[in-house]
Structure 1
Amino acid sequence: MTTYVSKELQAGLDAVRTVNLKRSSRMMVEANGKAFRVLRFWDTGFALDMADAPNLRGFVDLYERGFHLYQCLIVASAEEGGQMIYEFKRLTAVHTKAPLDFVMDHPDVSGLLEERFL
């Protein structure tokens, strides 16, 4: 039995794999006002489709299902199987509220128990 796969067949398999990754991915990267679908994401980087992705570099924003998750400083590192691999130089989570730089005297109360329950 041989494990040889023709170039045409391998290209077809790669194309189907890319379409499935695009369909299942919910993450998007936005750079310079343009959005690109993230095919794979891991803790040190992410991958975009080579056909869609320019050679990105610098600050980008990562979104998942429309929610802004991260601000990133990235650099293109390699091309692998029709995908462009980007690595993070910095990955910062986005918060909905600004962090406090002081101690609150009376923190917000989420509920109040009456004396009979104490």
Structure 2
Amino acid sequence: MSTYVSDDLRLQLNAARLAALKKVSRLRVHVGEARYPVLRRWSNGFSVEEETAPMLRGLVDLYDGERHLYQCLIIASESGAGERRYEYKRSTAATDKAPLDHYREITAPAGLLPRD
């Protein structure tokens, strides 16, 4: 039995695999105003489609739909099979509140009303 796969068949299989990954993922990477779909994500990086996304580097934002997940400092690690993989140098979880500079008691009031 031969394990040879023609170039045409290999390209078609790779295109089908990338299309399936794009359908499943809601993740997007934002670089300024540009947005690129994330194909896969793992603990220390992610991958994007090699043909549609330019070579990314530096500070990017990672979104799940419209929800901001992380602000990441990235470097390109490798390319292959239609994907470009990036690794995090730093990944900071995004929050919708500013950090407190003091300890807040659990029983503290939410706000104070004026006397007048």
TM-score (ref. length: structure 1):
0.87
Name the CA distance, whole Å, in 2 between partners of 1:104 and 1:77.
Answer: 42
1:1-118 equivalences in 2 (<5 Å): 1-105=1-105, 106-107=107-108
TM-aligned CA deviation for residue 53 of structure 1: 1.1
Output the CA distance in 2 between the equivalents of 1:94 and 1:51. 29
Between the two proteins, the alignment pairs up a number of residues equal to: 109
Q: Deviations over 1:29-53 (max 9, x none)?
A: 0013100000000011000001111
Provide the rounded CA distance (Å) in 1 between the counterparts of 2:48 and 2:67. Answer: 19
CA RMSD of aligned residues (A): 1.3
TM superposition shift of 1:104: 2.4
Deviation for aligned residue 1:107: 3.1
Q: Which moved more, 1:41-50 or 1:93-102?
A: 93-102
What residue in structure 1 maps to residue 114 of structure 2?
A: none
> What is the aligned partner in structure 2 of residue 115 from structure 1?
none
Q: Secondary structure at the match of 2:108?
A: coil
Q: How many percent of aligned residue pairs carry the same amino acid?
A: 46
Letter in 1 for 2:24: S
In 2, the alpha carbon distance for the partners of 1:102 and 1:3 equals 65
CA distance in 1, matches of 2:109, 2:60: 35
TM-score between the two structures when normalised by the length of structure 2: 0.88
Give the Å deviation of 1:4: 1.0
SS in 2 for 1:14: helix
Partner amino acid for 2:69?
L
Secondary structure in structure 2 of the residue aligned to 1:20? helix
